[in-house]
Amino acid sequence: MGLIDRLVRRVGPPPHPLGEGLWRRDFDRVDRASGRVLQVLAHQGREAPQLVEELTACRDRVWRCCLAAVARAPGTDTDVPGDDDLAAVHHAVSRAATSVSQAAQALVIAESDPAAAQRAMAQATARSVEAETALGLTG
């Protein structure tokens, strides 16, 4: 590695805590979906403290799961790990991201009835707890 390459590495952005592989991709999906929920609520001028609280807890739980997973299986690979527990974590986090996205869609479609969004968030929460359990993070 030449001097220029070393300098570029030194002044470049620091590496992301989740790396560049599967776990970052999984967390980014949840993070983007969470942002959409918040954008929809802001656009509608609605406050939904319970939904926002549940969304924040779910996002934080997924972050902790992805940090624990990348510690067990670091790398830049986006393939699902062969380890059954880590595969279960990926599956649960992926389903949590889908449920958070569904919550955003429900808020748009049924603006006056947040029940569908609440159900989707309940599913996201259940999936994030599933990921925690697979990693042994629940106490």
**What 3-state class would DSSP assign to 69?**
helix
* Tens digits of residue pLDDT in 47-106: 888 999 999 999 999 999 999 999 998 877 788 888 899 999 999 999 999 999 999 999
CA distance 14 to 19: 10
- Is the Cβ–Cβ distance between 40 and 48 less than 8 Å? no
3-class state of residue 136 by DSSP: coil
The DSSP secondary-structure symbol of 73 reads S
Amino acid at 121: M
Q: What is the DSSP letter of 96?
A: H
Query: What's residue 13's pLDDT?
Result: 65
Residue 2: is its pLDDT beyond 80? Answer: no
Distances (CA, A) of 61 to 45, 131, 136: 27, 9, 13
**pLDDT for 3-35, tens place per residue?**
776 666 666 666 778 888 899 999 999 999 999
Question: What is the enclosing helix (H) or strand (E) of 2?
Answer: none
How far apart, in Å, do the first and last CA atoms of the chain sit?
A: 46
